[in-house]
Amino acid sequence: MKDFELLPRIESPLDLRRLNDSQLVQLSDEIREALCNLVQERSAHFASNLGVVELCLALHLVFDFSKDRLIWDTGHQIYPHKLITGRFDKFGSIRTRGGLMGFPNPNESDYDLFMTGHAGASVSTVLGMKAGDDLLGQSGRKSVAVIGDGALPSGVVFEAMNNAAELKKDLLVILNDNEMGICPRVGGLGKCLDKARVAPFYNGLKRDVNWLLNKLPLVGQPSRQALGQIKDAIKGFLHGGMLFEEMGFRYIGPVDGHDLVALRGYLEMVKEVSGPVLLHVFTQKGHGFDPACQDPVLFHAPPPFERSSRHEIRSVKKSSSRAYTNSMSDAIYDSMQRDPKVCVLTAAMCEGNKLSRIRQDFPDRFFDTGICEAHTVAFAGGMAKSGMRPIVNIYSTFLQRSFDHIFQEVALQNLPVTFCLDRGGLAGPDGPTHHGVFDNSYMRIFPNMTVMAPGDEFDVAPMLDFALSHSGPVSIRYPKANTENVERPESPVELGKAEVLRWGEDGMFVAFGALFPLCVRAADRLRQEGLDVGVINARFAKPLDQTTIFRALEESGFVITVEENTVCGGFGSAVLEAANAGGVSTNNLKCLGIPDRFIEHGERDELLTELGLDLDGLVASALAMHERGQFASRLEAKIVRQSTDT
pLDDT digits (tens, 9 = 90+) for 305-355: 777 666 777 666 677 679 999 999 999 999 999 999 999 999 988 989 999
Average pLDDT of the residues in 638-646: 59
Band (pLDDT 50/70/90 cuts) for residue 358 is very high
Band (pLDDT 50/70/90 cuts) for residue 646 is low
303 vs 426 pLDDT, higher one: 426
Model confidence, pTM: 0.87
* Residues 45, 38: Cα–Cα separation, whole Å: 10
Q: Give the percent of the chain with pLDDT over 70.
A: 86
Q: What pLDDT shows up at residue 211?
A: 52
Annotate 111-145 with b (16+ C-beta within 10 A) or e (fewer). bbbbbbbbbbbbbbbbbebbbebbeeeeeebbbbb
Residue 339: CB atoms within 10 A of its CB come to 14
* Residues 288, 310: Cα–Cα separation, whole Å: 10
DSSP states of 507-522: EEEEEESTTHHHHHHH
Q: 566: Cβ–Cβ under 8 A, 6 or more apart, which residues? A: 437, 438, 440, 441, 593, 594, 595, 596
DSSP states of 45-109: --HHHHTTHHHHHHHHHHS-TTTSEEEESSGGG-HHHHHTTT-GGGGGGTTSTTS--SS--TTT-
Q: What pLDDT shows up at residue 315?
A: 64
Q: Strand runs (DSSP E) across 347-436, as ranges? A: 366-368, 389-395, 418-422
Active-site residues, by number, are: 285, 373, 401
pLDDT higher than 70, residue 73:
yes
Parallel, antiparallel, or unpaired: how do β-strands 559-566 and 507-512 relate? parallel
pLDDT tens for 181-231 read: 566 656 666 666 666 555 443 444 445 545 544 554 444 444 555 445 445
Average pLDDT of the residues in 97-110: 91
The answer to whether 578 and 546 are in contact (CB under 8 A) is: yes
Q: Which domains does the chain have, with CATH numbers?
A: 7-199+239-300 (3.40.50.970), 324-477 (3.40.50.970), 499-633 (3.40.50.920)
* Residues 99, 602: Cα–Cα separation, whole Å: 9
The answer to whether 435 and 303 are in contact (CB under 8 A) is: no
Q: What pLDDT shows up at residue 182?
A: 62
pLDDT tens for 461-503 read: 999 999 999 999 999 999 999 999 999 999 999 999 999 999 9
Q: What pLDDT shows up at residue 499?
A: 97
Average pLDDT of the residues in 600-621: 96
pLDDT tens for 228-272 read: 544 544 454 445 577 888 888 999 888 999 999 999 999 999 998
pLDDT tens for 413-467 read: 999 999 999 999 999 999 999 999 999 999 999 999 999 999 999 999 999 999 9
298 vs 216 pLDDT, higher one: 298
The answer to whether 282 and 254 are in contact (CB under 8 A) is: yes
**Average of per-residue pLDDT values in the chain:** 88
Burial class (CB in 10 A: 0-12, 13-18, 19+), 25: middle
275: DSSP letter: S
Sign of CA dihedral 150, 480, 542, 355: positive
* Residues 588, 404: Cα–Cα separation, whole Å: 37
Residue 592: CB atoms within 10 A of its CB come to 22
Average pLDDT of the residues in 87-107: 91
